[in-house]
Amino acid sequence: MISWTRTVAHARVSRDWRDWVGLAARLVLGLGLVVAGGLKVGRLEANVQQVALYQLPLPGWAETVVGYAQPFVEITVGLLLVVGLFTRVSAALGTIAMGVFIAGIVWAWSQGLRIDCGCFSLGGELGPDDRTRYTYDILRDLGFMACGVWLWARPAAVLAVDNWLLAPVDLPGSGSDDDLPDDPPDDFPEVSAPTTAKG
């Protein structure tokens, strides 16, 4: 019997073209999250202020928690995706994060706010001569989200830690075909069924 890891890990990865698409999706979404988090992790106070610029219906303490936690969550999920560890879970978290980012941008746009989203920049309010980039920001995050959806639906990819750490394992004596004995040798004596004498 194949162990329960088959339900957690993907089957042994072949060189199917979809496995390479999975690698590309992991790197695009993973590196995107790592870069986004890395730009914020050294300026946490500024990131709290950036969250406040969205004027979301959140209490102040929630804005502080989001501002401080966001960079570390982005970096952690991004690194998991880059190395291919717990890919399906990491992809789901990355997809949810992109959905939240898109919702925030749509909110700012609908409220008439003129801010830099701060995803891959220092953020802040835009000057009177600066143009918003909400459309570009949403399309970019939709691209990241597409990578996450692909990985959630098909997490198999080449060069992933999952391929080794969570590889299916055949347990001895568990009833798989590999545990069945080989065919008897040719010189193995045959035993005939006993005959009943007719009286």
Written as six digits, the tokens of 165 are 């750490």
How many structural domains are present in the chain? Answer: 1
Query: Is there a domain that residue 69 lies in?
Result: yes
Confidence category of residue 8, pLDDT binned at 50, 70, 90: very low
Which residue segment(s) compose the domain that 32 sits in? Answer: 13-163
- Three-state secondary structure string covering 44-58: HHHHHHHHHHCCCCC
| Nearest one of 77, 73, 74, 71 to 44, comparing CA atoms | 71
Query: Is there a domain that residue 176 lies in?
Result: no
Question: pLDDT, tens digit, for every residue of 44-85?
Answer: 999 999 999 999 999 999 999 999 999 999 999 999 999 999
Confidence category of residue 9, pLDDT binned at 50, 70, 90: very low
Dist. CA 174–CA 132, nearest whole Å: 61
Question: Looking at the chain, how many residues does it have?
Answer: 199
Q: Say whether pLDDT at 5 is over 50.
A: no
Query: Is there a domain that residue 23 lies in?
Result: yes
Query: Is there a domain that residue 149 lies in?
Result: yes
21 vs 166, residue with greater confidence: 21
Confidence category of residue 195, pLDDT binned at 50, 70, 90: low
Integer-rounded Cα Rg, in Å, for the chain is 27
Query: Is there a domain that residue 197 lies in?
Result: no
Query: Is there a domain that residue 183 lies in?
Result: no
Dist. CA 104–CA 29, nearest whole Å: 19
Query: Is there a domain that residue 59 lies in?
Result: yes
Query: Is there a domain that residue 20 lies in?
Result: yes
Residue-level pLDDT at 166 = 74
Written as six digits, the tokens of 101 are 């980012």
- Lowest-confidence segment of 69-78, 82-91, 120-129 by average pLDDT: 120-129
- Rounded to an integer, the average pLDDT of 162-176 is 66
